[in-house]
Chain A
């Protein structure tokens, strides 16, 4: 039990939770979207979180984490800072938009594009690893 507890405290300790992450994220996003009355019905949450967990294994998470580190290195500093900003400080995007007199949406669009770039990069790296 202590071994497990210690695992949770270090960086790789995040991994044992891989199989519940999708469900948590979906429910969290559902709550965020609740203001706009946009939330998934329960059956969709169940399908999404239960379906095909082979690919959501701890090993996949570990590989993706390694690939993410490499892909973040490939980004420009400003892009890297921007994509991580929402996780560092809640409300940081709004503050940034106000400071630079730009719309919040424009920043969210930028973040979306960087995330897509990261997803493709991670996928490419994992594919490359599999074909090696």
Chain B
């Protein structure tokens, strides 16, 4: 059957507004799969959809401004004059902003805010504890939970300097609602999302509903419901994703690839070697061989110590990869899996390490002061913080952590040093330490840019 562009366009338009029969949908999908012209029309319709939404938003904004202007003209002259005496705040001072909708047990560090208070553009909120719900002019809302510092940037955006903020942008006017953070900006595309900034200014975005875009230095990343990423401050800045797996030997994750046998550091490639070192001078060797770290696969189950690598007891350890020569590092993935026997046993799928790198051919010493020894700090990983784990039994039992450069490669290096921390839960003494309590790494994959 020949392709009818007019008919296909009609199908596409109806699909985008959710009005297709199953038979028509099948026709649409077949055409998209096989016909470049169909894909061109479809993409054009998507762009039209987006632009119509933007246009509608623009018209609504103009309409609202016109209503505001009309109302202002109706203000009695005496009131208007009084307002002008006080700096024109009422008439001209607020070009969009927000207001406090609710507060709950809020303790403020500087100015106190109460429900109904107007928050002009530029207003700073510093909340020590409790929470405050901010309602933006656009209809978007942000729940600020102390301790947090936040600034109103416009009637449809804010800046989170520190702490956590949960935002919902469900109105047409709030499309494009943005939360800027020190090293990233989260932008709504019909969504509810959570943003967090820690004391190092690492910026975290997780999408609880719909989808969001994250701008990192001009590069855009899309996040769908349930996805998250963290932009780590640093030079270079890196993007970290930590995800929960499907608890099968396939190691399936929402966006992170499964353990690979074709990455640069895989034993089969014969390019890299892996060694370990106990930082406290204790034995760091478990029953398994550290070669399990680059054998191209994870464990076949979560209780298989021989297929994982982990440090003994309270040992702190180092995993060191020698990549053979200086290479352009594009991505590092680490995988762990552990099914604890009972609740009193540590869930050792937790990942906590600092990643260091070195570019030269002579590896620096591995000590307690890597920076002084010449190692370059790349990033610090703590999956409990990432997932906001409150109880160690809630730790995901199969985890993958992926580290990528925020704007291109991580850098050119020969040696990578994973400074592995204890997997004890926030120094919780009641959790018994025992041999094999440390993170059970199934695989570490290192990707390089061949260009």
Question: Which residues of chain B from 16 to 34 have any CB-CB distance to chain A below 8 Å in the complex?
Answer: 16-20, 22, 25, 29, 32-33
**Interface-located stretch among B43-51, B255-263, B340-348, B432-440:** B43-51
Task: Specify the chain B residue showing the minimal Cβ separation from A85.
Answer: B56
- Residues of chain B lying within 8 A (CB to CB) of residue A97: none
Task: Specify the chain A residue showing the minimal Cβ separation from B49.
Answer: A25
**A108, B14: Cβ atoms under 8 Å?**
yes
Q: How far is the CB of A71 from chain B (nearest CB, A)?
A: 10
B354 within 8 A of A: no
Task: Specify the chain B residue showing the minimal Cβ separation from A34.
Answer: B18
Q: A40-B29, A68-B48, A112-B10 are in contact. Are A24 and B180 (CB under 8 A)?
A: no
**A116, B6: Cβ atoms under 8 Å?**
yes
A side interface size, CB within 8 A: 62
A56 CA / B44 CA spacing, docked (Å) = 8
A65 CA / B57 CA spacing, docked (Å) = 14
Q: Which one of A37, A52, A68 lies within 8 Å of B40 (CB-CB)?
A: A52
**A64, B47: Cβ atoms under 8 Å?**
yes
Most central of A24, A56, A116 by chain B CB within 10 Å: A24
Task: Specify the chain B residue showing the minimal Cβ separation from A114.
Answer: B13
Q: A11-B54, A116-B13 are in contact. Are A33 and B18 (CB under 8 A)?
A: yes
Q: How far is the CB of A22 from chain B (nearest CB, A)?
A: 5
**A5, B10: Cβ atoms under 8 Å?**
no
**A89, B172: Cβ atoms under 8 Å?**
yes
Q: How far is the CB of B154 from chain A (nearest CB, A)?
A: 6
- Residues of chain B lying within 8 A (CB to CB) of residue A83: 52
B59 within 8 A of A: yes
**A84, B17: Cβ atoms under 8 Å?**
no
A84 CA / B172 CA spacing, docked (Å) = 11
A115 CA / B47 CA spacing, docked (Å) = 12
**A51, B185: Cβ atoms under 8 Å?**
no
A100 within 8 A of B: no
Q: Which one of B14, B43, B180, B183 lies within 8 Å of A22 (CB-CB)?
A: B43
B39 within 8 A of A: yes
A86 within 8 A of B: yes
Task: Specify the chain B residue showing the minimal Cβ separation from A123.
Answer: B44
**B213, A108: Cβ atoms under 8 Å?**
no
Q: Which one of A4, A20, A118 lies within 8 Å of B222 (CB-CB)?
A: A20
Q: How far is the CB of B413 from chain A (nearest CB, A)?
A: 26
**B18, A32: Cβ atoms under 8 Å?**
yes
B53 within 8 A of A: yes
- Residues of chain B lying within 8 A (CB to CB) of residue A64: 47-48, 51
Q: How far is the CB of A47 from chain B (nearest CB, A)?
A: 7
Q: A17-B213, A44-B33, A90-B172 are in contact. Are A4 and B44 (CB under 8 A)?
A: no
A47 CA / B16 CA spacing, docked (Å) = 17
Q: How far is the CB of B22 from chain A (nearest CB, A)?
A: 6
Q: A11-B58, A90-B172 are in contact. Are A17 and B29 (CB under 8 A)?
A: no
A77 CA / B189 CA spacing, docked (Å) = 28
- Residues of chain B lying within 8 A (CB to CB) of residue A115: 13, 45, 48, 52
Q: A20-B222, A56-B47, A116-B10 are in contact. Are A40 and B32 (CB under 8 A)?
A: yes
**B33, A47: Cβ atoms under 8 Å?**
yes
Q: How far is the CB of A98 from chain B (nearest CB, A)?
A: 17
Q: Which one of B13, B57, B222 lies within 8 Å of A87 (CB-CB)?
A: B57
**A119, B44: Cβ atoms under 8 Å?**
yes
A55 within 8 A of B: yes
Task: Specify the chain A residue showing the minimal Cβ separation from B218.
Answer: A4
Known: A5-B185, A87-B55. 15 other contacts (CB 8 A): A1-B185, A8-B176, A16-B218, A25-B46, A25-B50, A27-B224, A28-B210, A47-B33, A48-B39, A48-B42, A83-B52, A112-B17, A116-B10, A116-B13, A119-B9
Pull 22 A–B residue pairs with CB atoms less than 8 Å apart, ordered by A: A1-B185, A4-B217, A4-B218, A5-B215, A8-B215, A17-B213, A17-B220, A20-B220, A27-B211, A33-B15, A33-B18, A44-B33, A47-B39, A51-B36, A64-B47, A64-B48, A83-B52, A84-B59, A87-B53, A88-B60, A115-B45, A115-B52
